[in-house]
Amino acid sequence: RCLQLKFDIYRKVPKDLTQPTYTGAFISILCCVFILFLFLSELTGFIATEIVNELYVDDPDKDSGGKIEVSLNISLPNLHCDLVGLDIQDEMGRHEVGHIDNSMKVPLNQGSGCRFEGIFSINKVPGNFHVSTHSATAQPQNPDMTHTIHKLAFGEKLQVQKVQGAFNALGGADRLSSNPLASHDYILKIVPTVYEDLSGKQRFSYQYTVANKEYVAYSHTGRIIPAIWFRYDLSPITVKYTERRQPFYRFITTICAIVGGTFTVAGIIDSCIFTASEAWKKIQIGKMS
């Protein structure tokens, strides 16, 4: 047992050999308050999650079959629903006029306008889809292509508060004051986006940048046939957002460092104050004698 006592590095000092002071008590209270504040700050940081993003070159959603789901919601307040149609074409040879699957037309302005809503898929190759009168049985004389885009989104919808991206960059685009006979070109650069939560589950979506131009287009017969074009190309760069939480061992290490460091610094400050106080008392006693 005596041998075991030799290994005790935490030697105890009897209480009757210690001296409490008001300064020591004040510093001890401040020390505990400071430790509590830092502990709560670290606990908040440990409970909260952080989003880490990275870039890499790859197709993240290989199980999609080379398809991207598109959600489009657009209003044309001066074009009848019978005239509105969606056409899709790409570099793989797809050319579809008057796409109607998973789409809906809602009359506006007592039937003089139309809101088109549709969900469709596109191939992962450059191409375009456009809203036009090309699929109408009879072409109107002066089609009015002024419009408002409520939504244009690609892939799965991400509802993550900490991820701010251009998932619906054209949402709210208003072209009601433009030339009614003008065509509109929206040139999109689609960026694959992956979000991975704490459980490791991945969700695949797409952000996009957009540039646009407005012009008047004539057919080979000299007629004006306006359309709203969405020309897209895919970026080879994928953006990945990963949700992470601070490891528990790092949290424990930080708490130990806070407690140990605070007590050590407080002990040094208290020792300096006590030593200076005792030295001052000796000086005063020397003057009195």
pLDDT digits (tens, 9 = 90+) for 63-88: 777 899 999 999 999 999 999 999 99
Residues of the chain scoring pLDDT < 50: none
Query: Would you state the pLDDT for residue 104?
Result: 93
Pick from 95, 75, 82: nearest CA to 170: 75
The C-alpha atoms of residue 86 and residue 46 are separated, in whole angstroms, by: 50
CB 113 within 8 A of CB 147: no
Query: 171 phi and psi, to 5 degrees?
Result: -60, 125
CB 80 within 8 A of CB 110: no
- H/E element, 214: strand 202-215
CB 101 within 8 A of CB 120: yes
Is 0.95 topped by the overall pTM? Answer: no
The C-alpha atoms of residue 58 and residue 242 are separated, in whole angstroms, by: 16
Pick from 251, 279, 266, 259: nearest CA to 42: 251
Query: Would you state the pLDDT for residue 5?
Result: 59
Query: Would you state the pLDDT for residue 23?
Result: 77
The C-alpha atoms of residue 123 and residue 181 are separated, in whole angstroms, by: 30
Give helix 22-47 / helix 248-288 axis angle, nearest 10°: 170
Show the tokens assigned to 34: 């400071």
Query: Would you state the pLDDT for residue 6?
Result: 64
Instruction: Give residues with Cβ within 8 angstroms of 23, minimum separation 6.
Output: 270, 273, 274, 277
Query: Would you state the pLDDT for residue 105?
Result: 94
For the chain, domain boundaries: 55-244
CB count, 10 Å around CB of 183? Answer: 19
